[in-house]
Amino acid sequence: MYRLFVAIDLPEEIKNAVEGIAGRDLAGARWVPREQLHLTLRFIGDADEKIFQSAKNALASVRGTPLFLTMKGVGHFPPVREPRVLWVGMEESGYLRDLQNKIEQSLINAGIAADERSFSPHITIARLRETPLAEVASLEETHRQFSAGPFPVEEFYLYSSSLTREGAIHRREAAYRL
Q: What pLDDT does residue 23 have?
A: 60
State how far the Cα of 13 lies from the Cα of 167, in Å rounded to an integer: 24
Q: What are phi and psi for residue 72, nearest 5 degrees?
A: -155, 125
What is the per-residue pLDDT across 93-140, written as a single tens digit (0 to 9) for each?
999 999 999 999 999 999 999 999 999 999 999 999 999 999 999 999
CA–CA dist 150, 104 (Å, integer): 24
Domain limits, the chain: 2-177
Helix axes 94-109, 49-59, angle to 10 degrees: 140
Catalytic residues: 38, 122
pTM (predicted TM-score): 0.92
The amino acid sitting at 130 is: E
Main-chain dihedrals φ then ψ at residue 119, nearest 5 degrees: -70, 125
- What lies within 8 Å, CB to CB, of 129 at 6+ separation is 28, 30, 84
Q: Given 3.30.70.890, 3.20.20.150, 3.90.550.10, 3.90.1140.10, which CATH number is that of 2-177? A: 3.90.1140.10
Instruction: Give the rounded percent of residues in the chain with a pLDDT score beyond 70.
Output: 99
Q: Are 120 and 76 in contact (CB under 8 A)?
A: no
Is residue 51 classed exposed, middle or buried when 0-12, 13-18 and 19+ CB atoms within 10 A define those classes? buried
Which is it for the CA torsion 33, 34, 36, 41, positive or negative? Answer: positive
pLDDT digit string, tens, across residues 13-31 = 999 999 888 766 788 999 9
H or E element that contains 2 = strand 2-9
